[in-house]
Structure 1
Amino acid sequence: MTACVHKSTIRSVTPRTFGCEECLEQGMEWFHLRLCRECGHVGCCDQSVGKHATAHFHRTGHPIIEGYDPPEGWGWCFVDETFVDLPDQTPQNGPIPRYY
């Protein structure tokens, strides 16, 4: 397994929305949520039509996400394509709506 060299980008963040930001704006449905651990963007997983978490990575270069539906406790680095041990889990700010 490849080691992640981007752990320094991990921040304690506040999720910006209660669901996928772009799906909420566009009236789309999502399957699972992913939280950017650099800025707090909430995006949908690659099983979702929008694939907004991956799109956020390509747009911003923010490498590490947290499984966030519900908080799942794992991290993923898009650049190194490996799981990352997170220093903490991000608490939910309230109930996350489900669309699957």
Structure 2
Amino acid sequence: MTSTTASSPTVDLRTIAPQQRHSLVFTTFIALPPGAAIELINDHNPLPLRGQFDSGLYGAFQWTALESGPEQWRVEIAKPASSKPVHGVDSCCGSCGG
């Protein structure tokens, strides 16, 4: 379930099928305007998701642990206000033909 507050959307991954979780998080994050954030709630440590963010969006996000188990994990993922479009994600310069 995804809900939105005035400040940021909250994505409760516990209610989402495991095979849909990461794509939902990336879609939600990419749609954020610079300076905004999402809050994730999960039933396990989201380290694999953090690895995907590091490899695909390195430097284009801020990851803050808000709660670290054992029942639930909460993480805030922010898009810095100075964020530029990420090649291949939310823009394309055309040089790769993509």
Higher strand fraction (1 or 2): 2
Fold conserved between structures, TM > 0.5: no
Provide the TM-score with structure 1 as the length reference: 0.27
Higher helix fraction (1 or 2): 2
Q: Which has the larger radius of gyration?
A: 2
Provide the TM-score with structure 2 as the length reference: 0.27
